[in-house]
Amino acid sequence: MTDLDLRCYFVTGAGEPDIIVETARAAAQGGAGIIQVRSKPISARDLYDLGLSVVTAVHEVNPDTRVLIDDRVDVALALKPHGVAGVHIGQDDLNPRVARNLLGPDAIIGLTTGTLELVEAANDYADVLDYIGAGPFRDTPTKNSGRTPLGLEGYPALVEASQLPVVAIGDVTVDDTENLARTGVDGVAIVRGIMNADDPRDYVERVVHGFDRGRN
């Protein structure tokens, strides 16, 4: 599996495509290791167009930032020649082994979890997954998972149980990153904090520095 910088994982939110692309560009300049293109509800064609614009803008400023597509393995596969690195799938999306067979050995594949049972089930796919997302950290209007928020105290057990790197998600802000890093997670995923920031580049830089402080 590829070495991943998961410290600051930006998930794009809903909005005008131009704003999403410019926010992604700024996040990459700030050092976001992963940018997941998600803008629900969205058609496959529009997701393709948005993903192409994002990966082009991001790699102009930071070729090391990996761009993933949310849910749609077909769109990720179509954008692979353009530099998209992989996909993040949910529990109801394609089986991780099918996704790996389609996208190949070099693709990055993440899976949504959030309970001990889901984390343990993800271990069965540790040979084809690169990381898991675990949340919600706290309730968030961005996505209703139906799962109980984990809080800081919920992560150490999941980290211990997981054979894969763990990324915390769910209304995470820059002020949470240091404390979340202390729980043992490998990174934090942020949607609204970065999308709504006056200066997304500065916001991402502060997330990375906060995470490093907590981890050290």
Mind listing the pLDDT tens digit of every residue in the chain (216 residues)? 568 999 999 999 999 999 999 999 999 999 999 999 999 899 999 999 999 999 999 999 999 999 999 999 999 999 999 999 999 999 999 999 999 999 999 999 999 999 999 999 999 999 999 999 999 999 877 666 778 899 999 999 999 999 999 999 999 999 999 999 999 999 999 999 999 999 999 999 999 999 999 999
CA distance 48 to 61: 20
Residue 146: CB partners within 8 Å, gap ≥ 6? none
The dihedral built from the CA positions of residue 100, 102, 105 and 111, taken in this order, carries a sign that is negative
**Residue 193: inside a domain:** yes
CA distances in angstroms from 4 to 35, 50, 192, listed in the order given:
12, 23, 22
**Residue 3: inside a domain:** no
Neighbours of 146 (CB within 10 A): 6
Catalogue the E-assigned strands of 62-174.
Answer: 66-70, 86-89, 108-113, 131-134, 166-169
Give this prediction's pTM.
Answer: 0.96
**Residue 169: inside a domain:** yes
CA distance 5 to 65: 8
**Residue 2: inside a domain:** no
Looking from the CA of 136 toward its CB, the CA atoms found within 13 Å total: 17
Domain with 95 in it: 8-215
**Residue 128: inside a domain:** yes
What's the domain count of the chain? 1
**Residue 1: inside a domain:** no
CATH number at residue 47: 3.20.20.70
CA distance 151 to 1: 29
Which value, to the nearest 10 degrees, does the dihedral of the CA atoms of residues 40, 20, 4, 183 take? -70
